[in-house]
Amino acid sequence: MPEDRTPFDDLEARLRAARAKQGEGAKAEPAGTGPLGGMGLGLRLGVEMMAGIAVGGGIGFGLDRVCGTRPWLMAMFLILGLGAGVANAWRAAHGVDETVGLQAARERAGLLEDDGEGKDER
């Protein structure tokens, strides 16, 4: 009965495909730009900048209260926070995402280029 075997052959092939996928770790599908597209990316860059500045300012404010050096540490950490914010926004824009440590980010970017498929823009 050759007809009876056909669906099971198919099942066997699909099982093999599924197992292969399970083992090697399926290749990443492109994340896609999502419904917001460029607007989403713009919003994200803004958030990254803001978060860096806010955290920098917050740390500076806290240290000032502890050390009693009212305006100085906050001013310094605001600038550092701006740097961190710009760095994060730059990473987000270039699709080297959230990795802390520029080296790690660069490696990841290199890795992504090899893959050919960008994981950018989430």
Partner 1 sequence: MSNPIEQFQVHPIVPLELGGVNISFTNSALMMVATVAVTTVFLTLSVRKRALVPGRWQSLAELIYEFIAGMLRENVGQEGRPYFPFIFSLFMFVLIGNLLGLLPGSFTFTSHIIVTFVMASVVFVGVTVIGFARHGLHFLRMFFPNGAPLATAVILVPIEVISYLSRPLSLGVRLFANMTAGHIILTILGGFVAMLGVFGIFPLAFLTGVMVLEFGIAMLQAYVFTVLSCIYLHDAIHMH
- Judged by CB, which is closer to partner 1: 44, or 93? 44
Q: How far is the CB of 50 from partner 1 (least distance, A)?
A: 7
User: What sign does the CA torsion over 101, 103, 109, 114 have?
Assistant: negative
Instruction: Quote the distance between the C-alpha of residue 96 and its chain's center.
Output: 7
- Judged by CB, which is closer to partner 1: 67, or 102? 102
Give the position of tokens 């959230």. 98
Q: How far is the CB of 63 from partner 1 (least distance, A)?
A: 11
User: What are the residues binding partner 1 (CB under 8 A)?
Assistant: 25-28, 31, 34-36, 43-44, 47-48, 50-52, 54-56, 59, 77, 80-81, 83-85, 87-88, 97-104, 107, 122
Q: How far is the CB of 43 from partner 1 (least distance, A)?
A: 7
d(CA 119, CA 29): 8
Q: How far is the CB of 116 from partner 1 (least distance, A)?
A: 15
Amino acid identity at 24:
E
Q: What angle do CA 88, 94, 99 make, to 5 degrees?
A: 45
- Judged by CB, which is closer to partner 1: 13, or 36? 36
With contact defined as beta carbons under 8 Å apart, do 79 and 50 qualify?
no
